Amino acid sequence: MEIPRYPQSRPILLEDKPLLDQLFRELQPRISELTFANLYLFRVVHDYRLTLVRDAVVALGRGWDGSSYFLLPFSGDSGAAARELVESGLTLYGADRPFLERHFPEREGLQVVADRDNFDYLHVREEMAQLSGKNYHKKKNRVNYFMVRHCFDVERYEERHLDGSLALLGEWQRVRLAMGPSSLEGEVAGAAEALRLHRELGLSGVVVLVKGEVKGFALGEQLNQSTSVCHFEKADLFMEGLYQLLDREYCRLLFTDCEFVNREQDLGELSLRQAKLSYHPVELVEKFRVSRGQGSARARN
Q: Are residues 213 and 156 in the same domain?
A: yes
Give the residue among 237, 39, 230, 10 at the shortest CA–CA distance from 120: 230
pLDDT of 297 above 60: no
Mean pLDDT for the stretch of residues 86-95: 97
Q: Which residue has the higher pLDDT, 87 or 66?
A: 87
3-state helix, strand, coil in the chain (%, to 5): 40, 25, 35
Mean pLDDT for the stretch of residues 126-140: 95
- Percent of the chain having pLDDT more than 70? 97
Q: Are residues 136 and 82 in the same domain?
A: no
Over the stretch 180-223, which tens digit does the pLDDT of each residue have? 766 689 999 999 999 999 999 999 999 999 999 999 999 999 99
How much is the pLDDT for 94? Answer: 96
Contact 89, 110 (CB under 8 A): no
Contact 96, 288 (CB under 8 A): yes
The CATH number of whichever domain residue 204 belongs to comes to: 3.40.630.30
How much is the pLDDT for 171? Answer: 97
Q: Are residues 150 and 261 in the same domain?
A: yes
Q: Are residues 260 and 145 in the same domain?
A: yes
Residue 5 included in any domain: no
Over the stretch 39-85, which tens digit does the pLDDT of each residue have? 999 999 999 999 999 999 999 999 878 889 999 999 999 999 999 99
List the domain range (segments joined by +) for residue 161: 120-283
How much is the pLDDT for 115? Answer: 97
Q: Is 9 helix (H, G, I), strand (E, B) or coil?
A: coil
Number of domains in the chain: 2
DSSP class of residue 31? S
Residue 20 included in any domain: yes
Kind of pairing, strands 152-156 and 283-285? unpaired
Assign 294 a pLDDT band (cuts: 50, 70, 90).
Answer: confident
Residue 3 included in any domain: no
Terminal-to-terminal C-alpha distance of the chain: 37
Distance CA 95, CA 30 (A): 10
Give the residue among 153, 156, 158 at the shortest CA–CA distance from 254: 156
Q: Are residues 266 and 246 in the same domain?
A: yes
Q: Is 242 helix (H, G, I), strand (E, B) or coil?
A: helix
Residue 1 included in any domain: no
Q: Are residues 127 and 250 in the same domain?
A: yes
Q: Are residues 147 and 239 in the same domain?
A: yes
**Which residues 6+ apart lie within 8 Å of 78 measured at CB?**
56, 72, 99, 103
Average pLDDT, the chain: 95
Q: Are residues 220 and 132 in the same domain?
A: yes
pLDDT of 15 above 80: yes
Mean pLDDT for the stretch of residues 8-14: 98
Distance CA 122, CA 31 (A): 10
Q: Are residues 279 and 136 in the same domain?
A: yes
Residue 71 included in any domain: yes
pLDDT of 282 above 60: yes
Q: Are residues 130 and 263 in the same domain?
A: yes
Please, is 270 exposed, middle or buried when counting C-beta atoms within 10 Å of its C-beta (0-12, 13-18, 19+)? exposed
Q: Are residues 144 and 83 in the same domain?
A: no
Contact 147, 245 (CB under 8 A): yes
Assign 298 a pLDDT band (cuts: 50, 70, 90).
Answer: very low
Mean pLDDT for the stretch of residues 156-162: 98
Q: Are residues 69 and 23 in the same domain?
A: yes
Beta-strand ranges (E) seen in the chain are 10-11, 49-53, 56-62, 68-71, 91-95, 110-114, 120-124, 152-156, 204-210, 213-224, 227-235, 260-262, 283-285, 288-292
